[in-house]
Amino acid sequence: MIWVFIIVCFIISAFYISIVVVNCKKHGSFSNWVSFYNQCQKEAEIELENIKKERDKQSVFLKEPTVVDLEINSDDIKKEMIDNHPWFAELVESNQRTLEQGDKLNDAYNEFKINKNYEDVIAAYEEILLDDDSKMIGTVHSIRLAEFYIATNQHDKAWGYLNKLALQTYGLIDKIRRTQHKILKKEKKYTEALLFLMYYYMHKNKRNGIFQESMFRKDANVLFKKIGLDVDCVDQITTVMRTQIGDNIYDEDILRDDLSIILKNI
């Protein structure tokens, strides 16, 4: 190993010596080459200092804008965009409506938590959420209105509203089916309640492709007993759920037909 190290050092030394020899020949002598190198280094330092001075000089005119400057510029740009671009004006108006509607619903809900007045909160929610152009469709407030209906035993109204909501936004389909399951369970329609609970878990688990079997069995345990399902039927139902989710089959019609076949054998 020591010989390898000596050879490498020799090669590196020869390389640098060759550089010195070449430059000495080019500049006449070693001292001339050193003088040339020092002169280049000095010129480079001078150029760097000039660049720094120029940058500092420009920074006087390019000062950081204050908050007031930014607000003025922002308002001016916004006004110009609204005046010259109709699509931008519509966007600003839409965003403003969204904020206003959200504030109204939040205020109504916060007031409800204090006074528990269902009539007032339902009226406030209906005014905004039953409008087809509402900006709050698909938000947490959408499901709350259905829950207010259920709490006041307006099951038919809640059911119709949830069906309409399912057509308006797919993003809440799992929560919609869960809420419909609650209605059916409250009305003691246990077989239908089980089906909608299966819908709920199917849509909920679509996001990660994993069937949460233990949670499903826990939630459905009361329904299994009310319907009178034995252990074999329960296993068949969970197998159907596990298979559909595992195969990325998220079809409510197929799930309903599979449950009907299982229940026929009871």
| pLDDT tens track, the chain, 266 positions | 454 444 444 444 444 444 444 444 444 544 554 455 556 555 556 655 665 555 554 444 434 444 444 444 566 665 666 666 666 666 666 667 777 777 888 898 999 999 999 999 999 999 988 887 777 777 888 899 999 999 999 999 999 999 999 988 888 899 999 999 999 999 999 999 999 999 999 998 887 777 888 999 999 999 999 999 888 889 999 999 888 888 888 889 999 999 999 888 76
Examine the fold and report which residue of 113, 139, 168 is the final residue of a domain before the chain moves on: 168
Confirm whether 163 is domain-assigned: yes
123/94 same-domain check: yes
252 and 206 share a domain? yes
Residue 127 located in a structural domain: yes
Q: Are residues 207 and 265 in the same domain?
A: yes
Does residue 204 share a domain with residue 263?
Answer: yes
Q: Are residues 113 and 195 in the same domain?
A: no
Residues 159 and 87 in one domain: yes
- 100 and 161 together in one domain: yes
Pair (162, 103) in one structural domain: yes
Has residue 184 been placed in a domain? no
Residue 24, pLDDT score:
45
Q: Is 266 contained in some domain?
A: yes
Same domain, 214 and 261: yes
Number of domains forming the structure of the chain = 2
Based on the domain organization, do 158 and 209 belong to the same domain?
no
Asked if 92 and 164 sit in the same domain, the reply is yes
Q: Is residue 8 part of a domain?
A: no
Are both 130 and 200 inside the same structural domain?
no
Provide the pLDDT for residue 91: 66
In a domain, 206, yes or no: yes
Residue 230 lies in a domain: yes
44 part of a folded domain: no
Q: Give the model's pLDDT for residue 120.
A: 95
Residues spanned by the domain of 198? 189-266
Please name the amino acid found at residue 45.
Answer: E
Asked whether the whole model's pTM tops 0.75, one would answer no
